[in-house]
Amino acid sequence: MSDFKIAPSILSADFARLGQETEDVLASGADIVHFDVMDNHYVPNLTIGPMVCKALRDHGITAPIDAHLMVKPVDRLIGDFIEAGASYVTFHPEASEHIDRSLQLIRDGGCKAGLVFNPATPLHYLDYVMDKLDMVLLMSVNPGFGGQSFIPGTLDKLREVRQRIDASGRDIRLEVDGGVKVENIAEIARAGADTFVAGSAVFKARDEADPHRYDSVMRAFRDALAQR
Ligand SMILES: O=C(CO)[C@H](O)[C@H](O)COP(=O)(O)O
Ligand SMILES: [Fe+2]
């Protein structure tokens, strides 16, 4: 597998300069913009919503935006993110009253749909919905904050989901989110992930030579993936 995608989480960007930061990280080679939505209810933190997603589109960001909804209830915000220009909309199954309906709402709006699993959320939520998924996102930290350490048990869970995706024969991305670093990305890729969210590891590693570039950390991620 060589179709690896790197998705910097703008949670760790400078929010006062969000448009420029997003441009800079994409110019440095990022593939996807990971957009963390927290509601101070499902998770104990409060971040950004659809207006900010739309502002990034209006600013000229054309790359895929991966809206990771850590909100409860889910369904009303799905419509808002579709309107705001999200490309992927993912949600936590235990935060939705009707998982199948939420997935269908996302796809009916022309977006790609994904389910997100916290470290202790069982994988049985995948049963009966594989045909409605474009992405499975495994959290490798408990959701709510950037800058936490990767939980090693995620590796076994990744292997299990990789088997399920391959057995399904479907085109479903396997994303991992939380504590992804240059030092552990190869091991995470070997366990089956193909899409890597990295927040603090990217935005704390601005190039010394140019404050608008993240080239060296992006190159280090690519090199680690090439040598996995
Ligand atoms: O969903 C998230 C937290 O709930 C973030 O995407 C995640 O924590 C990324 O940050 P870092 O790479 O610093 O761990
Ligand atoms: Fe996230």
State pLDDT tens for residues 40-94.
Answer: 999 999 999 999 999 999 999 999 999 999 999 999 999 999 999 999 999 999 9
Catalytic residue among 24, 36, 66, 194: 36
Cβ within 8 Å of residue 29, ≥6 positions away? 6, 214, 215, 218, 219, 222
Q: Is the pLDDT of residue 2 over 70?
A: no
Phi-psi region of 29 (alpha: psi -120 to 50; beta: other; left: phi over 0): left
C-beta neighbour count of 159 within 10 angstroms: 13
For position 122, what pLDDT does the model report? 98
DSSP-assigned letters across all residues of 101-128? HHHHHHHHTT-EEEEEE-TT--GGGGTT
pTM over 0.95: yes
- What atom of ligand 1 comes closest to residue 202's alpha carbon? 12
Please give the radius of gyration of the chain, using alpha carbons only, rounded to the nearest integer. Answer: 16
Report how far apart, in Å, the C-alpha atoms of 27 and of each of 42, 165, 209 are: 33, 31, 15
Q: Which atom of ligand 1 is nearest to the CA of 142?
A: 4
Q: Compute the distance from residue 103 Cα to the ligand 1 centre, in Å.
A: 23
Q: How far is the CA of 47 from the centre of ligand 1 (A)?
A: 12
pLDDT 10s digits, 145-184: 999 999 999 999 999 999 999 999 999 999 999 999 999 9
* 199 known ligand binder: yes
As a whole number of angstroms, the distance between CA 61 and CA 30 comes to 12
The one-letter amino acid at 176: V
CA–CA separation, 219 and 153 (whole Å): 27
Q: Is the CB of 144 under 6 A from ligand 1?
A: yes
Alpha-carbon distances, residue 20 vs 112, 146, 156, 202 (angstroms): 26, 20, 37, 15
User: ipTM for the complex?
Assistant: 0.98
Domain 5-226, what architecture? Alpha-Beta Barrel (3.20)
- Residue 9 has what DSSP assignment? B
CB count in 10 Å sphere of residue 55 = 15
Decide: 8 in ligand 1 pocket, CB within 6 A. no
- 125-152 pLDDT, tens digit per residue, is 999 999 999 999 999 999 999 999 999 9
Q: Is 147 annotated as a binding residue?
A: yes
Q: Does residue 210 have a known ligand-binding role?
A: no
Atom of ligand 1 nearest to the CA of 147: 13
How many whole angstroms from 139 Cα to the centroid of ligand 1? 8
